[in-house]
Amino acid sequence: MMMHGDNARLQALRARAYQLAETGRFDGAHAVEQALVAEGWANAAAALQSGYTRKAISERCLAAKPH
């Protein structure tokens, strides 16, 4: 069973991932994951392992790119 604190950290990490994706500076979920690790989110890979989450991040990266 996941502790509430862990869940809150995962939610915060995902929220940060979406923020980064929406900057338009990243090409996809992998690049956002690397940026999160560089910021000190040690569990970024685990938090973003869901295919749904990675797809949502990649879509936000694409949408944020200048067209």
| Digit-coded pLDDT (tens) for 9-54 | 899 999 999 999 999 999 999 999 999 999 999 889 988 989 999 9
- Report how far residue 65's alpha carbon sits from residue 42's, in angstroms, rounded to the nearest whole number: 27
* Residue 66 pLDDT: 82
Higher per-residue pLDDT: 17 or 65:
17
Q: Which tokens hold the place of 64?
A: 């944020």
> How many domains does the structure of the chain reveal?
1
* Residue 12 pLDDT: 94
Q: What residue numbers bound the domain in which 52 lies?
A: 4-64
- Report how far residue 54's alpha carbon sits from residue 57's, in angstroms, rounded to the nearest whole number: 5
* Residue 5 pLDDT: 77
* Residue 31 pLDDT: 97
